[in-house]
Amino acid sequence: MLDIVVGGFFGDEGKGKICSFLSLRDSPVAAVRTGSINAGHTVTHEGRSWKIRIVPSAFTNSKTELLIGPGALTSVEVLSNEIEGTGVAGRIFLDPHVGIITKEEVEQERADDYLINKIGSTAQGVGYAEAKRVLRKLRLAEDYNELKGMLVDVPSRVISHIEKGSKVMAEGTQGHYLSLYHGSYPFVTSRNVTASGILSEVGVGPKYVKEVIIVFKSFVTRVGQGELPGELEEEKADQLGLIERGTVTGRRRRVSPFNLDLARKAIQLNGATQVSITKLDWLFKEAYNVKEYSKLPQEAKRWLDEIESQLKVPITLIGTGEESMSTIDLRREKGIEV
């Protein structure tokens, strides 16, 4: 069956870490990346760290086939650089319908004062490329000779794996409240990044979905403009040690405490069946690198129990450090088949 990993806040929740962990722990036969190159995922494993924008974070499992869904967008340059940087040549494939961003779209976006200064675009050309796709003017992966050897029918490949009884993982990007349809418009991204949008970009129907894992960080961050309920002053965020920067842009992330109202709504609209909480160690320093729930500090356990009781969805995966395997896996304890 297909497991979907989706962001629950404004992106930057740690989906890359969770997808990497799941690939290493569950060994899915394939992982499908959706979204585009304006969203970066950071993966840290065995002493190395990668900042990737289109290669699936499941690349850390050398046996997992890597796919890019037909609804995704990339540039040939970013894709080529990441394939080389992650060493996944020969096991990564993209659908012929993947949209290709060129320098033209990047230049158009960077010249758009509204997008850059009001919306806070990452200036990667994604918005302009998506608009051209809607107008049926964008070139696709099938139009590029250098990509010919990597093209496969991704939806058919995914369905074939599932029908053989294999596990497939779909990796979403950004977060629920950056969704074009469900976020704080106009300060959103150019696509639907909820679970339904991810499924659409993979290209398969909902009957194939087994689990929807929604990822929240132990606090909320946002890059760029738009609402952020409960936003902390930079000085307060500094005092709490909650300082982060965007993977793609390097911009400082705005910060607010964990927001139950936002989390509950995101769970509802995404149909989440599991919750993952990352960066628990940022709130509770003694939780750093803990891999067993019993060894967490009591205050961390109380915090998690309260969050779970309010969200009414099991917290199954808890991130306690930047390393992929610095994760507490409670799925079996919570009665979820792995």
3-state helix, strand, coil in the chain (%, to 5): 35, 20, 40
CA distances from 241 to 9, 15, 125, 272, 284 (A): 20, 21, 33, 30, 11
What gap in Å lies between CA 190 and CA 181, rounded to an integer?
9
3, 26, 41, 329: the active-site residue = 41
The CB-side HSE value for 264 (13 A sphere, CA atoms) comes to: 9
3 is catalytic: no
41 is catalytic: yes
Tokens of residue 101, six digits: 């961003």
Q: Are strands 315-319 and 327-329 parallel, antiparallel or unpaired?
A: antiparallel
Mapped onto helix, strand or coil, the DSSP state of residue 116 is: helix
What gap in Å lies between CA 303 and CA 8, rounded to an integer?
18
What gap in Å lies between CA 205 and CA 199, rounded to an integer?
7
What gap in Å lies between CA 154 and CA 170, rounded to an integer?
12
Long-range contacts of 308-316 (CB under 8 A, 24+ apart): 308/275, 310/260, 310/264, 311/260, 311/263, 311/264, 311/267, 311/275, 313/214, 313/267, 313/272, 313/273, 313/274, 313/275, 314/274, 314/275, 315/274, 315/275, 315/276, 315/277, 316/213, 316/274, 316/275, 316/276
3, 12, 95, 281: the active-site residue = 12
Strand stretches in the chain, DSSP E: 2-7, 30-33, 41-45, 48-52, 65-68, 73-74, 92-94, 99-100, 168-171, 209-217, 219-222, 254-257, 274-278, 315-319, 327-329
Residues taking part in catalysis: 12, 41
